[in-house]
Amino acid sequence: MAGLDESQTFVPINIAVMTVSDTRTLETDTSGAALIERLTGVGHKLADRVVLTDDVAVIVAKLRDWIADPDIDCIITSGGTGVTGRDVTPEAFAQVCEKEIPGFGELFRWVSLKSIGTSTIQSRATAGVAGGTYLFALPGSTGAVKDGWDEILKFQLDNRHKPCNFVELMPRLTEHLAASKKKPTSAA
């Protein structure tokens, strides 16, 4: 049965928050603030926070910086997941992710259906893994961030969630990198 195993000790992880918007600032970023309130409220640590414009190169550069930082376990973005010409967060994720987590976007849209009805079809929420770091892209509305955290990420980023969760997999996320380093190279 799904739920929290209260007999286990909670393991906080370090989460970086990126808001992707051409109009928001740190002071006006309500979705980023709601996300930070939620993740720190359950005991996780805010590793970093930025607001960036809808520019693939800028987003990719920051994602790569954070992925390379051993003190960041997870990146959650807010914004840029729609279908307009300026919405480029999924394209940025595609440039850095080693593995996609397609079920995240599917589940997010199912959860969002209860809040916004069929308008959820306009969301390109996505997720993946790169360099041992989880990446989750949520839409930019405060409601979407609340839905994504409260209904999905709060549980999957809690090591006590059963039958399984993303935190318990963290030590194994880079197994493929270690294996490729051990392979002998062929002589030319």
pLDDT of residue 187: 53
- Extract long-range pairs of 175-181: CB within 8 Å, 24+ residues apart: 176/98, 177/131, 177/132
By C-alpha distance, which of 146, 150, 153, 100 is closest to 124? 100
Task: Answer whether residue 7 is part of any domain.
Answer: no
pLDDT for position 184:
60
Q: Are 20 and 78 in contact (CB under 8 A)?
A: yes
Number of domains the chain is built from:
1
The answer to whether position 30 is within a domain reads: yes
Report CA dihedral (57, 58, 64, 69) to the nearest 10 degrees: 170
pTM: 0.93
- Asked if residue 47 lies in contact with residue 107, where contact means CB atoms within 8 angstroms, the answer is no
- pLDDT value, residue 1: 74
Q: Is residue 87 part of a domain?
A: yes
Q: What is the CATH number of the domain that holds 160?
A: 3.40.980.10
Please state, in angstroms and rounded to a whole number, the distance separating the CA atoms of residues 37 and 120. 24
- Give the tokens for residue 25: 């600032």
- Is residue 188 assigned to a domain? no
> Does residue 6 lie in a domain region?
no
pLDDT per residue rounded down to tens, the chain (188 residues): 789 999 999 999 999 999 999 999 999 999 999 999 999 999 999 999 999 999 999 999 999 999 999 999 999 999 999 999 999 999 999 999 999 999 999 999 999 999 999 999 999 999 999 999 999 999 999 999 999 999 999 999 999 999 999 999 999 998 876 666 666 655 55
- Structural domain contains residue 114: yes
The answer to the question of residue 2 being in a domain is no
Q: Which domain, by its residues, includes 32? A: 12-182
> What pLDDT does residue 174 have?
85
pLDDT of residue 175: 81
Count of CA atoms in the C-beta half-sphere (13 A) of 124? 14
Among 29, 18, 94, residue whose Cα is nearest residue 62: 18
Q: 160 lies in a domain?
A: yes
